[in-house]
Amino acid sequence: MFATRALRQATAHAAERTPLIRFIGKRQIPANIDHTPVPHPASPTGSLPANFGNGNTHTSFSSYRDSAQQHGPLRKSIGSLSASRLGPIQPPQGHYFDRNELPERFRRVPLTAAEIEAIETGGATLFG
């Protein structure tokens, strides 16, 4: 068959084949590594930003925390007040918290008994 011929041909060419990759030798870890920041070679200005490397602009962790954001402000007005002092929560005009608050045409249609039976049997009751 063709597979046997292909295997024979592959073994015949294995002796002639030389890999394209060439290893120079054992890897060596350099003694000194320079970690000083340098501009990117493709940088249009060829220099680092003016305020780069001046260190941290925050004097304390709490000053950093006041300006930090992860998924929104970490310590802003909502976190400093209790929920009872914030008052009732109402959605903005045109927004809804629950699907049942939408107009009737956008609500979910309840499943019928036949649909529930079809789901539970994996559709077997539809054909038999």
Distance in angstroms (rounded) separating the CA atoms of residues 93 and 14: 74
| Mean pLDDT, rounded, for 84-99 | 81
Quote the pTM value. 0.27
* Res 111 pLDDT > 90: yes
Q: Which uninterrupted H or E stretch holds 120?
A: helix 113-120
Residue 113: exposure state from Cβ atoms within 10 A (0-12, 13-18, ≥19): exposed
Is 10 in contact with 18 (CB distance < 8 Å)?
Answer: no
* Res 74 pLDDT > 60: no
* Res 15 pLDDT > 70: no
